[in-house]
Structure 1
Amino acid sequence: MVPQPKVMTLGHWMLDYFRRRPERLLLMILVVSGLIVWGRDYFYPRDRGAQALEWAPILPPVTNLAALPELVVATRRGPATYWTEPDGRTLGIEHDLALSFGLSLGKPVRFLVLDNLNQVMVAVHQGKAHFAAAAVPVTTDFGRDFQFTPPYYHSHPQVVFNPLLHRSVHSPAELSGQTVTLVPNPDLVARLNHLQEKTQGFSWKAAPHGMTEMELMRQVYEGQVSYGAASSDIIAVAQNYYPDLSVAFNLGSDLPLAWAFPISSPLLYEAALHFMQSYQRSNGLAQVVEHYYGSVGALSHDDALDFLQKRVYRLPTLMPIFRNAAALSGVDWRLLAAMAFQESRWNNDAISPTGVRGLMMLTADTADRLGVSDRLDAAQAVPAAARYLARLRDELPLAISEPDRTWIALAAYNVGSAHVEDALFLARRRGFDVNGWNSLRQTLPLLTDPDIYRQVRHGFARGGEPVRFVENVRSYYDILEHFERDTPVPNVKKLGR
């Protein structure tokens, strides 16, 4: 008898895979359970955006800026645009930029929060919002009905998949017989229609009403959706939370992202042009972009995966220590946890060849200075490190605001306040903004250059190390904010994303 080939269904394949890689099953369970809670904010109830669009009133034309009672801004919920924290705070790059624009005009801002870019552009076209601040790609199709401000960022559409659950593809031709899912987006639809004409057997479909791009990324990661399409800025953020999310290929070149105004609103458009130009000159625009995108891509796939796995089996036993230290110091426990992971991978018995040891990897001198008698005692080390970070943060000039204040304090924690002072001196001499972390991120690595470190008071420093330390801590902190959104946080200084 001829042996029959073994037919392995997706279910059998997953069972066999997770039997061989149980840690991946643990990670999958973690992500799904975390998103059940987290999703209440990021994922709208179905059709909520459509209802908001339908019920929104049509606004009168803007003929006099002084008489304008408020700015109504159409946006969409997501990590690159606008979201609401459990404590009620609203955040996002579009949120922050729109509020700054409103402040420059002396006007309050009201957001019309919708599900997708299609709805956003319809809202502006119908006169239900004054402009769109929703990571809008500047395209010729939009240009017929809208006018755009100077861009604040660039992005390009990509196709993504989970190679552990679905066949890898690396070109459009390999998508023959496959379906790509996307959240409605006029530019993306046009690109996929063009691809469909050239690729036999390829098709695309719209995600269910109300789904956000981040929810689509989660479904691709879980295997509920085989292939998804979204913008690269969304995908880069999502890969921190879902490390196995892989880019198959790009669907086109970079597109500028900007605000979109109706052709019929020249007064407000001119005001926005003036605001963007002056905000860019003052470095305010660069600070906002750095705040939300600065640490994206800092972690490798393995680092992100390791962090998510250890969050399951190591963090719960350490959380009481972090939370107690937060209550004593005013530093968010999630930031302390992120620092500890970067230092020791949450290994309380860690010892390095250079003699640093414990959960916070303290040197003997630092431990003595902080009053820690046993560096391997996390109950001593974590509160001491938290108080030290809080002190470094408090000692910075008042002109430095959050979150830059905390990022600069983290750099001082890692390399010492003296070298941070030298980096600030270099930033000032180069005309950089000395109140922003982005400037120090550029000047700290210069302290390894003999021609430069001889010009500063405290000399040589491995300036690249504090930059990596801060960017990795920011990324781990972002992941914890994402998955620990409903965990009560003591009365600490909030950093935003």
Structure 2
Amino acid sequence: MRVSTIDSPLTYSVINGKKYGLDYELAQQFANYLGVKLKVTVRQNISQLFDDLDNGNADLLAAGLVYDSARVKNYQPGPMYYSVSQQLVYRVGQYRPRSLATVNENQLTIAPGHVVVNDLQRLKETKFPDLSWKVDDKKGSTTLLEEVISGKLDYTIADSVAISLFQRVHPELAVALDVTDEQPVTWFSRLDDDNTLSAALLDFFNSINEDGSLARIEEKYLGHGDDFDYVDTRSFLRAVDNVLPELEPLFKKYAKEIDWRLLAAISYQESHWDPLATSPTGVRGLMMLTKNTAQSLGLTDRTDAEQSISGGARYLEDMMAKVPETVPEDERIWFALAAYNMGYAHMLDARSLTVKTKGNPDSWTDVKQRLPLLSQKPYYSKLTYGYARGHEAYAYVENIRKYQISLVGYLQEKEKQEAEAMKLAQDYPAVSPEELNKAPFPFLSFLSQSSGYLTHSPSLLFTPQKKEEK
């Protein structure tokens, strides 16, 4: 089965050789359902995706595409599985447009094939006659978002989910206004006379809806929430640059059952990576362990970074081991974190309450919705272990997930920049600062003055440039 998609954090990406993405995982499951092999082709923009269908180079488009009346005239839509709105974005610190009335093509650039072009055309005809925009045939939405972040471009339009993920790594990206209401997302295939593929796709989505696997995948990629906090995210990324490097070896050393970046995110939520952190209730250290927990783990100094991280990791492993085996593997960590925060017994109460209110106790989506009820008397009075600050456990897990998304994306981007710098270093051998300003190196001279990442490569002899504070 040939599937065309776009490289983005939500749809499809490759990290350390492993493939991720909501649409990728669904496509792989669909291929397994059909008993065929999956072949993925990555395209730069939406226009190229539909070219693949037109030219017979793809069977399906799985790329977070919006259902649109114009598209369904020529292509077969599949089941709709989540929704997004289209939003106009700008860079923090720059002018924020409050309306599309004054936006023009010198400011707004759209990716080719983007569904919002139809919406903009309708708005121009009915409300904003002076509205204009430019379509860049060579760039996709991801590239245009990056250009807004860098200040190269004033505005672009992208879907709300993609923007929220970008903001976890680039908090300077801000939403100016909503261009559309919520729109359903679907896959597309060629118009099929016998409906073979579309019928199979409908059966597949019905089955994963019924067994809960669709909800689990959506929780994994869409469950991080949309309550973006600019100040908090920016502070976290500063700490990643300034504090994390010293602690990173310890997180890698003791994160045995989970990804080290998740362990680091847990520690940041607990203490903001302050080894001396102390709460009013007496918990201390990077992992904010109680005195009793530390003693049970054989720790002698909760403020010692290595002891705290090793103890916290072991305690979390104990919680994960206790999570009922009926909970799917990829969701066990969230149940364990809730138990880590409010106690294992109260996590069991949350599962029990989920059953009583006709939810699935093995679904994190269902259980987390009941957590705030643990502090409400009509509910906790009927539970085995009584009152708990379930709303805090809910926020605790959600915050950790957001920090993890930010950390993974930020480190991945740094690796990409370092790889680009290394390639430039190989293409253009190191020269002295004096030679940079002499012929025949005008291109290198320009790069050394304008490119932030070039001067970060230790193999180059460029004079370091001071990065502007964001």
- Whether the TM-score (by the shorter chain) exceeds 0.5 is yes
Residue 6 of structure 1: aligned partner: none
- The one-letter code sitting in structure 1 at the alignment partner of 2:92 is P
From 113, 134, 150, the counterpart of 1:185:
113
Residue 225 of structure 1: aligned partner: 153
Distance in 1, matches of 2:122 and 2:369, equals 41
Residue 180 of structure 2: aligned partner: 252
Residue 145 of structure 1: aligned partner: 74
Residue 168 and residue 299 in structure 1: after superposition, are their counterparts in 2 closer, same or farther (change >3 A)?
Answer: closer
Please state how far the C-alpha of 1:223 moved relative to its aligned partner: 0.7
Residue 169 of structure 2: aligned partner: 241
- Counting only pairs closer than 5 Å after superposition, residues 239-388 of structure 1 correspond to structure 2 as 239-264=167-192, 266-326=195-255, 329-388=256-315
Distance in 1, matches of 2:39 and 2:135, equals 29
Distance in 1, matches of 2:50 and 2:105, equals 32
- The one-letter code sitting in structure 2 at the alignment partner of 1:180 is L
Structure 1 residues 444-468: Cα deviation after superposition (integer angstroms, max 9, x where no partner) = 2221122221222111111111111
Residue 41 of structure 2: aligned partner: 112
Structure 2 segments unaligned to the other structure (5+ residues): 416-470
- The one-letter code sitting in structure 1 at the alignment partner of 2:81 is Y
Residue 452 of structure 2: aligned partner: none
Please state how far the C-alpha of 1:259 moved relative to its aligned partner: 1.4
- How many residues align structurally? 413
- The one-letter code sitting in structure 1 at the alignment partner of 2:113 is N
Distance in 2, matches of 1:370 and 1:148, equals 55
Distance in 2, matches of 1:320 and 1:74, equals 38
- Counting only pairs closer than 5 Å after superposition, residues 361-440 of structure 1 correspond to structure 2 as 361-440=288-367
TM-score (norm 2): 0.83
Please state how far the C-alpha of 1:81 moved relative to its aligned partner: 0.9
Contact 1:152–1:258 under 8 Å retained in 2? yes
Residue 130 of structure 1: aligned partner: 59
- The one-letter code sitting in structure 2 at the alignment partner of 1:79 is P
Contact 1:85–1:91 under 8 Å retained in 2? yes
Residue 73 of structure 1: aligned partner: 3
Distance in 1, matches of 2:67 and 2:129, equals 29
Identity within the alignment, %:
34
Residue aligned with 1:111, SS? strand
Matched, 1:83 2:13: yes
Please state how far the C-alpha of 1:400 moved relative to its aligned partner: 2.3
Residue 92 and residue 228 in structure 1: after superposition, are their counterparts in 2 closer, same or farther (change >3 A)?
Answer: same
Matched, 1:101 2:65: no
Distance in 1, matches of 2:341 and 2:233, equals 21
- The one-letter code sitting in structure 1 at the alignment partner of 2:6 is R
Please state how far the C-alpha of 1:290 moved relative to its aligned partner: 1.0
Residue 331 and residue 274 in structure 1: after superposition, are their counterparts in 2 closer, same or farther (change >3 A)?
Answer: closer
Please state how far the C-alpha of 1:413 moved relative to its aligned partner: 0.9
Residue aligned with 1:140, SS? coil
Residue aligned with 1:179, SS? coil
Residue aligned with 1:367, SS? helix
Please state how far the C-alpha of 1:178 moved relative to its aligned partner: 4.1
Distance in 1, matches of 2:283 and 2:338, equals 18
Residue aligned with 2:329, SS? coil
From 369, 389, 399, the counterpart of 1:442:
369
Greater Cα offset, 257-266 or 91-100: 257-266
Residue 465 of structure 1: aligned partner: 392
Distance in 2, matches of 1:392 and 1:155, equals 35
Structure 1 residues 36-81: Cα deviation after superposition (integer angstroms, max 9, x where no partner) = xxxxxxxxxxxxxxxxxxxxxxxxxxxxxxxxxxx21221111221
- The one-letter code sitting in structure 1 at the alignment partner of 2:176 is A
Please state how far the C-alpha of 1:190 moved relative to its aligned partner: 2.1
* Higher relative contact order (CA closer than 8 Å, sequence separation 6+): 1
Distance in 2, matches of 1:279 and 1:446, equals 28
Distance in 1, matches of 2:196 and 2:383, equals 49
Please state how far the C-alpha of 1:487 moved relative to its aligned partner: 9.2
Contact 2:372–2:390 under 8 Å retained in 1? yes
Residue 449 of structure 2: aligned partner: none
Structure 1 residues 218-277: Cα deviation after superposition (integer angstroms, max 9, x where no partner) = 221221111111111111111111112111111121110011122225111011111112
Contact 2:169–2:407 under 8 Å retained in 1? no
Distance in 1, matches of 2:43 and 2:303, equals 50
Residue 95 and residue 121 in structure 1: after superposition, are their counterparts in 2 closer, same or farther (change >3 A)?
Answer: same
Please state how far the C-alpha of 1:181 moved relative to its aligned partner: 1.6
From 162, 165, 177, the counterpart of 2:91:
162
Distance in 2, matches of 1:139 and 1:200, equals 23
- Counting only pairs closer than 5 Å after superposition, residues 192-231 of structure 1 correspond to structure 2 as 192-195=120-123, 199=128, 202-207=131-136, 209=138, 211-231=139-159
Residue 202 and residue 178 in structure 1: after superposition, are their counterparts in 2 closer, same or farther (change >3 A)?
Answer: farther
Contact 2:6–2:43 under 8 Å retained in 1? yes
- The one-letter code sitting in structure 2 at the alignment partner of 1:72 is R
